[in-house]
Amino acid sequence: MSSGQDNAPTPSVPRGGAAPGEWGGEWEVVIGVEVHVQPKTLTKMFCGCGVAPLNAPPNTHVCEVCLGLPGVLPVPNRAAVEACLKTALALNCEIPRHTKFDRKNYMYPDLPKGYQISQYDLPMSINGFLEVGTRKVRIRRVHLEEDTGKLIHAGDKLHRAWESFVDLNRAGVPLMEIVSEPDLRSADEARDYAMELRTLLRTIGASEADMEKGQLRAEPNISIRRAGADELGVKTELKNINSFRALHRAILYEVDRQRQVVESGGAVVQETRGWSEAEQRTFSQRSKEFAEDYRYFPEPDLPPLELDRAWVEELRAALPELPSVRRARLLEQLPATHVAIIGADRELADLYETAVARGAPPASTANWIVNEVAPSGKLLSPESLAELMKLMHDGSVTRDQAREAYLEAVETGRTPAEIVAEHGYAQVSDESELRVIAEAVIDANPQAATDYRAGKKQAMQALMADLRKRAPQANPRVASELLLRLLA
C-alpha cells in the first residue's frame, strides 16, 4: 500500500505547480517511485509458512499466524531483515540503531488481520541514493512489511451478483518497500531507475526481482509543473504495472493526461490510478471506502529491533562489487552500448570477465555475449566460452559454426572443441582451395563482377553471399581478399 507520503505530507491543492489554463510554456515532469520487492526467503515475514510458488493451489501456504487467528504471535524472519539491510546498505542508506514495526489498519478481505504489519516512523533505513546514468536519485527509505492476499473478482454486471475469492498464500510474504524522492524527470529515467534497482537487487542476492512474477512492483507517482517552478504539482499514483515497458508507457500516458487536464483549464486530482495493459490507459481507482486513514500505531505484538552495529558492518563488508563500480571498470574496456547490456546482469558480467581472464579476446567475447547469450539467455561456462572465442578468433570456425557449437555446448554440456572436432567444422583458409571456388563464383555472376569493376562496391556483397552458399566453411576474410584480388 502507499506510504510514499508517510513522513512528508504533500499538498493536495496546487501551489505554484500546475495552475490551470494560461501556460503556454514547457512542463516539467516530476516522478518518484515506490518499489515493492520480495526478498529472497524460504518462509513468510512473520511465520514459518513457505513462500508459495505461483502455481500453488489456493490457501495451501497459510497458518494461524498469517490467517490472523486469535492468540498467535508474529516473529520476524531473520533472512528478510538481512535482505532489507543489505539492500539499504547497497543504496547508501543510513541504518538507525532502533527500528520497529507498526500496524497499518484497514479493512479489506486481502488482509485477514484487519491490518498490515509495516513500518511507519522508524523504518529500517533512511536517506540513501542510487545513481542512474548521470542522475543521483535520493532514496527516502527502505523498510520491511508483509504482502497481502490475492483477490479474484467474479460475477456479472447484469445481475450485480459480484463476489470475490480470496487466496491468502501471499498474505504475510515479506516485502521491502523502497521509496525514492521525486527526483526523476521522465518516463525513461523512471524505467532506468527501476531496471537499475533490479540489477542491484540481483547482484547483492537480496531478491530475484522478477517483475513478471510480481517480485518487483513499481508504483510511480507523477506530477507536472511549469518548467523552472520549485513547488510540486498535484500528483497521481499509478498501480498495477507488471513490466518495465508498462511502467514506461503508463508514465507517458499519465503525463499526457495531466497536461491535457491542466491545459484545458482543469486541475489534477490527487488519486490512485490503475494502469490497464489491455486499454493502454490509466483509470481512476478513487474510492471512499479506501480513504487513506490508516491509524498507524506501534505493533504491540513485536518487540522493537535493535540493529546490532557489528551485524550491519558484517553485512556491509560482505556486499559484492556493486553494479555501478563494475560498470565503470567495464567501460574502460568496452563500448558503452555493450556495457549497458553486460553491466546490467551479474551473470553476464561474470561470464565476460571470467572468460577474458581465461584468455578469450575481449572485443569478440563482449560481442558474443551481447548478440548471442543475452538475447537467448543461454549461459555456458566461462571456460567453454573462452575456448569457443579462441577458435573463432584464430579462424578455425566461422561465426555460424561457432553459433551451432555454442547452442550444442549449452544443450549437451560438452566442450566447444569436442563439438567442433566431431562435426568437422574447421574453417577453410587454404588459398588454393578457396581460389577455385572464388573463380567459380565470378564466372557464375558476370553482372555482379562487371558492376564491381565499374565501381559499384556493393556488388561484392552478392559475390560473397554466393561464395558462402557454395562453401559455408570458407574463412570469410581470406575469401573476400581473394575475390578482391581476382577482380582487380
As measured in angstroms, the least distance from the Cβ of 284 to other proteins is 9
Q: Does 304 bind other proteins (CB under 8 A)?
A: yes
If the CB atoms of residues 153 and 469 are measured against other proteins, the closer one turns out to be: 153
d(CA 117, CA 146): 6
DSSP category for residue 53: P
d(CA 401, CA 188): 38
As measured in angstroms, the least distance from the Cβ of 166 to other proteins is 4
As measured in angstroms, the least distance from the Cβ of 283 to other proteins is 8
- Among 76, 96, 205, 361, interactor with other proteins by CB under 8 A: 76
Contact mark string toward other proteins, 264..283, x via CB under 8 A: -------------------x
- Among 164, 260, 280, 450, interactor with other proteins by CB under 8 A: 164
DSSP category for residue 289: G
As measured in angstroms, the least distance from the Cβ of 290 to other proteins is 9
Per CB under 8 A, the segment of 24-32, 129-137, 206-214, 306-314 that binds other proteins is: 306-314
d(CA 82, CA 353): 29
Residues numbered 308 to 327 that lie near other proteins (CB under 8 A) are: 308
Q: Does 151 bind other proteins (CB under 8 A)?
A: yes
- Among 136, 162, 185, 320, interactor with other proteins by CB under 8 A: 162
Q: Does 331 bind other proteins (CB under 8 A)?
A: no
Q: Does 168 bind other proteins (CB under 8 A)?
A: yes
Per CB under 8 A, the segment of 57-65, 329-337, 443-451, 459-467 that binds other proteins is: 57-65
Residues numbered 92 to 111 that lie near other proteins (CB under 8 A) are: 100, 105-109
- Among 77, 148, 221, 258, interactor with other proteins by CB under 8 A: 77
- 176 with 149: CB under 8 angstroms? no
- Among 16, 21, 133, 155, interactor with other proteins by CB under 8 A: 155
Three cell numbers written together for 237: 499514483
Q: Does 295 bind other proteins (CB under 8 A)?
A: yes
Per CB under 8 A, the segment of 30-38, 295-303, 328-336, 339-347 that binds other proteins is: 295-303
d(CA 416, CA 337): 27
If the CB atoms of residues 79 and 252 are measured against other proteins, the closer one turns out to be: 79
If the CB atoms of residues 79 and 379 are measured against other proteins, the closer one turns out to be: 79
CA atoms within 13 A on the CB side of 62: 22
If the CB atoms of residues 165 and 465 are measured against other proteins, the closer one turns out to be: 165
If the CB atoms of residues 20 and 298 are measured against other proteins, the closer one turns out to be: 298
d(CA 286, CA 308): 42
Q: What are phi and psi of 73, to 5 degrees?
A: -125, 140
As measured in angstroms, the least distance from the Cβ of 272 to other proteins is 12
Exposed (0-12), middle (13-18) or buried (19+): which is 265, by Cβ within 10 Å? exposed
Q: Which residues pair with 33 in a beta bridge?
A: 220
If the CB atoms of residues 73 and 357 are measured against other proteins, the closer one turns out to be: 73
d(CA 409, CA 403): 10
Q: Does 303 bind other proteins (CB under 8 A)?
A: yes
Distances (CA, A) of 155 to 59, 133, 151, 159, 463: 21, 47, 13, 8, 66
Residue keyed to cell 500453488? 56
- Which residue type, as a one-letter code, is found at position 169? N
**Nearest one of 169, 145, 221 to 55, comparing CA atoms:** 169
Three cell numbers written together for 295: 491509524
d(CA 128, CA 35): 14
Q: Does 296 bind other proteins (CB under 8 A)?
A: no
- 241 with 275: CB under 8 angstroms? yes
Q: Does 205 bind other proteins (CB under 8 A)?
A: no
- Among 60, 260, 280, 376, interactor with other proteins by CB under 8 A: 60
DSSP letters, 161-215, are --EEEEE-SSTT-EEEEEEE-S-B-SHHHHHHHHHHHHHHHHHTTS----GGGTS
As measured in angstroms, the least distance from the Cβ of 64 to other proteins is 7
Beta-sheet pairing, 163-167 with 150-154: antiparallel
Q: What is the binding site for other proteins (CB under 8 A)?
A: 41-43, 47-50, 57-64, 67, 75-81, 100, 105-109, 151-153, 155, 162-168, 283, 285, 287, 289, 293, 295, 298, 300, 303-308
